[in-house]
Amino acid sequence: MKKVQLHGLFRTGTNYVANLLEKNYEVEIHKEGNSHGLNDRGFCTNWKHGPYVGHLLKEEHPMVIVTKNPYSWLVSCYKYWKKFPIGPEIENYSFEQFVKATPCCLEGSATVPFLFRAKNLMQYYWNAYYHWTSVRSTKFFVMQYEAVLEDAEGAFNKLATCFELEPKGAFENIEKNVLWNVKDDGNEFRLRNTKLAMESREKKFDSAYYDDSKFLEYYSDDLLDYVKGEWDAELGRKMAYSTHSPSCFEKLD
């Protein structure tokens, strides 16, 4: 069975894309490490979210890179971390404070885990996607979350053609609100947040939220200008945000 690698930032629809891929094609998502996501040295391999995973990438496996429009991604992250705060101070953040905050993240997927900072979340976003689109020497496929919502079958047909994937049968969509199973390993924090996440996923998904760009209601004119000022034009083009079409690219020059 063919294996593919899948990477993308949190809150971009990676679970949704991975489930659709494995449901509809003779393919397996390549993951490093054991059932807890740890390699033989005890480090978190972070199979899909870790920005700095060059040592984990396998040349023999093509890569799917999942993206989401940065404007909606920022809102999705804000809503998520208001619900599952990673620190007491973030509960009281306004959206503007959140967007302009300086994130400091533990990169557990590195050979030696390290802390790194980004000026703001947009810098973190572009840094991650620059890394994923730069380290490969073979083709990679950019799968836009918005394109999957608009026409999942059409988007995955392009992916299947690019990577020569064998379909299992007629294309079947699935519920958008999916979550990987988490085993009861006694970790109360993980289980509590998994339960909360599953409860939030039981709410009916509203595609009009994305179709009508309702997420822009969170932005003032000044904040829109701020995000635009952090835009990476080169990567935006590479990730096809001038269109709504998933795209297959060679490695960046």
φ/ψ region of 169 (left if φ > 0, alpha if ψ in -120 to 50, else beta) reads left
pLDDT for the residue 198: 57
pTM: 0.82
Percent of the chain with pLDDT over 90: 30
Confidence of residue 253 (pLDDT cuts 50, 70, 90): very low
| Per-residue pLDDT tens digits for 116-133 | 788 999 999 998 888 888
Confidence of residue 135 (pLDDT cuts 50, 70, 90): low
| Per-residue pLDDT tens digits for 209-226 | 777 788 899 999 999 999
| Domain encompassing residue 138 | 2-249
218 vs 34, more confident: 218
Number of domains in the chain: 1
Q: Are strands 140-144 and 247-249 parallel, antiparallel or unpaired?
A: antiparallel
The CA distance from 80 to 82, in Å, is: 5
Indicate the DSSP class of residue 10.
T
- Neighbouring CB atoms inside 10 A of 203's CB total 8
Confidence of residue 92 (pLDDT cuts 50, 70, 90): confident
pLDDT for the residue 110: 62
The enclosing domain of 147 has a CATH number of 3.40.50
Choose the weakest-confidence range: 11-20, 101-110, 166-175: 101-110
- pLDDT > 70? residue 38: no
Confidence of residue 35 (pLDDT cuts 50, 70, 90): low
Closest to 217 measured CA to CA, from 118, 85, 79: 79
* Two tokens, residue 174: 């699935």
What is the CB-side half-sphere exposure of residue 77 using CA atoms within 13 A? 26
Kindly report the backbone phi and psi dihedral angles of residue 38, in degrees, each rounded to the nearest multiple of 5, phi listed first: -110, 140
